[in-house]
Structure 1
Amino acid sequence: MRTRKIIIPATNTSASLKTIKRKTNVTDVAKAAGVSVATVSRAFNIPGAVKDDLRSHVLTIANSLGYTPNPAAKALRLQKSHMVGVVIPTINHAFFAAMLDSFQEVMSAAGYLVIVVTCGFDNNKVFDQVRRLIDRGADALLLVGRVEDSRVRDLITEKKIPVITTYSYQNDDSIPSIGFDNYAAMRLMVSYLVRLGHKRLVMIAGPTQGNDRQQARIRAFYDTREANNIVEPWHVIELSYNGAFAEGAEAMRKIHAEFPDTTAVVCNSDSFAFGVLAECRKLALRVPEDISVTGHDDQDFACMLAPPSPQSLYRQKTWVDTPPMHSYMHFPTATRSLQSTLMRTF
């Protein structure tokens, strides 16, 4: 069989190559600014090591040349990613959204990128997400809730990753925390109801599996009953947070049908309280004349409830902005300044 050699003429690529614009690098900036490469690097990475006027000059030249540092190269060189990982139960909750907004604002101003992952409300599921964030180079972590999984503690100790927890107060020296005492907050709330004369209470709680926040509130609920020698039965209805408004309304229907003598409903979130109040109107129950309702979290819409529900309040933004932090309880008839249940440990 005869074969033929096919010769394909080379294309003239020189013209096209000339049109490809080379990306500006740090050397170009240094030459244009009349400084060393090291000075350019410090201007971007260690601002305090360069005089303000010189840094401004370098940044102006860099901007005119269209130069921006390569994040990957910078991370490799400095062995830092400038990424902070956040592990939260869900983004489908106004409270966590507000917390993230404040955290993102502060971290961004400090030059950090915030990476958010969710794990549900079970603290036992935190480990996998923490490991993924560390594997991807997170410089530090913010976790919601107590760190009760020994695997998480061992991993952050091994990797020497700075970690802080929030939303729950962790009373030990191993992990810094900025949170509040869920148990104390609920004791204050329920004790107030007892002082008003309520003896038949029902709590609407969120998911408790691996959820130290809900567990602490439920424990405080029953401990208050025992401390006041109340013999009437108290009940807890556990719900998910999937459609909390509707779930709160459904729980109120259950309370009205199964526990008709209930005089106060303690809601572990304002979302549940919103649904409860809506259902009370449908059931022709007057609040607070026929039944009292409390909420928790001070969500934006809480002040629009009619009547406003008593709440354990705290301000999310103070967690990362302005110490000292304050906590207080608000009731329809008055504002009472009580001992703070918001705590910090470092």
Structure 2
Amino acid sequence: MAKIAASIRDVARDTGLSTATISRVVNGDTKVSEKTRQLVLDACSRLDYLPNPAARALSTRRSRVVAAIIPTIEHSVFAKFISAIERTLGLHGYSLVLAISNADEAEELAAARKLLGMGADAFILSGQTHSAALLEMLAKRQVPFVYTSVWDPDCEQPTVGYDNADLAGQALRHLYANGHRRVAVVHGPLAESDRTVARRDGARALRGLFDTLDFFETPLSVAGGKACVGHRLADGGGYSAYLCFSDVLALGAYFACADVGKQIPQDVSVMGFDNLDWAEAVLPPLTTIDLPASGMGEAVGTHIVECLETSAPMQSQHLTARIIERGSVALLT
């Protein structure tokens, strides 16, 4: 016969404590003494007692569930980010529920409705451009939320991330310092990402430094990067370097160069953005911008927990990134 799951009353009988005390311990009440807390936790472990999340939500008016909506899980930068959030929330007794928007506002709104229906206590949103309906829905329910992968000190909502425009400028200055004056910038669809728009704008601000600085939009995929750079190589644009606003696009550039017998960096230089896991393993190793994906996840998780535990406004945080110099950018004399 199946074993009947232990109840909170079973734990109370085992410890000689009230069900109210057991409830306070499993819900993380810090006012309970360490001796009592350990007694309850030992009994829960011994009896294999798991709190009923629905009952806990009714009693505390909190689900201890945090929702994250991201555009995709196809790239490891998002995997690192989400893993760090989940690890940080778990240390404080919170769970993470994930939804994918495919960079579509309607899908994001539909996902948010479902997650609110599950009782999500807070939301993590990628970028700071979202539908008015979504923002109104969260505000009406007084659900805290944070924008990630962006840093905007003037934003009304908290932002945890980096300055995308500045990082694009840093990448171009790196190419300029290495003697490159004819540069092609390859980026994903502007309509799908305000982070890409910020990077484009940051790069545009440095146009005066270069003899040629051209921008090309392509699907955010290896195939997209390969097709875009392949066309540029075929039309004789004469670019000495390709700055790709994603390592995924940079990998496509590698394939495009290989197809026409161009060597990196002897014939053409390539620079990426993200520092994905494989960037160090390709030949030559990819020079790229190391985005703090794990650090951002830890910071976001910490700020959300502090907000939910203290009811204090969620804080913003500016994270720094750095250029990882490897072997894909030549020094031109």
Q: Which band: TM-score by shorter chain?
A: 0.7 to 0.9
State the identity %: 27
1:38 aligned to 15, 20, 42, which one?
A: 20
| 8 Å CA contact retained: 1:253, 1:279 | yes
Which residue identity is paired with 1:331? E
Letter in structure 1 aligned against 2:325: F
Give the corresponding residue for 1:61: 43
User: What is the CA–CA distance in structure 1 between the aligned matches of 2:152 and 2:134, rounded to whole Å?
Assistant: 15
Q: 1:236 aligns with which of 206, 215, 221?
A: 215
* Preserved contact between residue 162 and residue 319 of structure 2 (Cα < 8 Å): no
Find the counterpart in structure 2 of residue 7 from structure 1.
Answer: none
Render the CA deviation track for 1:19-44: whole Å, top value 9, x for unaligned: 88765322232122112222211221
For residue 296 of structure 1, what is the amino acid of its counterpart?
Answer: F
Q: Which residue of 277, 284, 293 maps to 1:307? A: 284
Residue 74 of structure 1: CA displacement? 0.8
Amino acid corresponding to residue 74 of structure 2 in structure 1:
N
| 1:78-111 Cα shifts (integer Å, max 9, x gaps) | 1111111101000111111111111111111211
Per the TM alignment, residue 239 of structure 1 is displaced from its structure 2 partner at its CA by 2.1
- Counterpart position of 2:96: 114
Contact 2:69 2:101 in 1 (8 A): yes
C-alpha distance 191-58 of structure 1, shift in aligned 2 (>3 A): closer
2:240 to 241, 263, 271: 263
Helix, strand or coil: the match of 1:80?
Answer: coil
SS in 1 for 2:146: strand
Counterpart AA for 2:218: L
Measure the CA separation in 2 of the matches of 1:324 and 1:216. Answer: 15
CA distance in 2, matches of 1:54, 1:149: 47
Query: Unmatched 5+ residue regions in structure 1?
Result: 1-18, 334-346
- TM-score, L = length of structure 2: 0.85
For residue 326 of structure 2, what is the aligned residue in structure 1? 332
Unpaired runs of 5+ in structure 2?
Answer: 300-316, 328-333
Measure, in 2, the Cα distance between the counterparts of 1:126 and 1:259.
41
Question: Structure 1 residues 187, 158: closer, same or farther in 2, change over 3 A?
Answer: same
Alignment of 1:170-185 (within 5 A): 170-185=152-167
Bigger relative contact order (CA 8 A; separation at least 6): 2
Counterpart-to-counterpart distance in 2, 1:42 and 1:53? 14
Instruction: Identify which range, 287-296 or 29-38, moves more after superposition.
Output: 29-38
Alignment partners' CA distance in 2, 1:253 and 1:194: 23
Following the alignment from structure 2 to structure 1, what is the Cα–Cα distance between the partners of residues 237 and 4?
77
Displacement, 1:249?
2.1
Determine the structure 2 residue equivalent to 1:194: 176
- Alpha-carbon RMSD: 2.4
Deviation larger for 22-31 or 211-220:
22-31
Encode CA deviations 1:45-79: one digit per residue, 9 max, x unaligned: 13422222222222323333333221111111111
Residue type of the partner of 2:143? I
Distance change in 2, residues 1:126/1:170 (3 Å): farther
More displaced 10-residue stretch of structure 1: 200-209 or 149-158: 149-158
Does structure 1 retain, via aligned residues, the 8 Å contact 2:161–2:319? no
Contact 1:121 1:207 in 2 (8 A): no
Is the 1:122–1:209 Cα contact (8 Å) retained in structure 2?
no
Letter of the 1:72 counterpart:
A
Match of 2:302 in 1: none
Aligned to 2:65: 83
Asked if 2 retains the 8 angstrom alpha-carbon contact of 1:47 and 1:55, the reply is: no
Shift of 1:124: 6.7
The 2-side partners of 1:270 and 1:20 are apart by 51
**Count of aligned positions:** 311
CA contact (8 A) 2:82 2:297 kept: no
Aligned counterpart, 2:129: 147
Instruction: Give the structure with higher Rg (CA).
Output: 1
Amino acid at match of 1:182: N
Q: 1:22 to 1:118 in 2, by over 3 A?
A: closer
How big is the shift at 1:257? 1.0
> Are the counterparts in 2 of residues 146 and 212 from structure 1 also a CA contact under 8 Å?
yes
Residue identity opposite 2:321 in structure 1: S
- In structure 2, how many angstroms separate the alpha carbons of the residues matched to 1:123 and 1:172? 23
2:85 aligned partner, one-letter code: F
Amino acid at match of 1:246: A
Partner of 1:168: 150
Q: How far apart, CA to CA, are the structure 1 residues paired with 2:186 and 2:2?
A: 65
The answer to whether the 8 A contact 2:188-2:218 is kept is yes
What do the CA deviations read for 1:276-329 (whole angstroms, capped 9, x no partner)? 123313322122221111100011111112222322222212124379954211
Instruction: Between 84-93 and 44-53, report the one with greater CA deviation.
Output: 44-53
Asked if the contact 2:28–2:93 (Cα under 8 Å) also holds between the matched residues in 1, the reply is no
Quick one: structure 1 residues 148 and 30, their matched pair in 2 at CA, closer, same or farther if it must change by over 3 Å? closer
